[in-house]
Amino acid sequence: MVRPVMNISSLADAMPPPNRNGLLLACKVTMDAMTGCLAEAVAAEGATVNAIPPERSAAQNWKPVDS
């Protein structure tokens, strides 16, 4: 059984905020590059590899929970 791979990414590499930690930014860029390489490597087997930036998905799907 082939299962999808999901990585948590960030929009920080596409739009780096001012005064951001350079090490964190480098790690995020590396994660995105690794995700792309892994996706190409396993595509022939029918597997999918994606990266999701939580900033974008949380903003679109956020629903407050009543406490």
Residue pLDDT, tens place only, 6-65: 888 777 666 666 776 777 778 888 888 899 999 999 999 888 998 887 765 555 555 555
**Other Cβ atoms within 10 Å of 67 Cβ, number:** 3
Give the H/E segment covering residue 29.
Answer: helix 22-42
pLDDT-based confidence at residue 67 (cuts at 50, 70, 90): very low
Flag whether the pTM goes above 0.85.
no
Q: Which residues contact 57 (CB under 8 A, 6 or more apart)?
A: none
pLDDT-based confidence at residue 66 (cuts at 50, 70, 90): low
In angstroms, rounded to a whole number, what is the distance separating the alpha carbons of residues 39 and 4?
A: 10
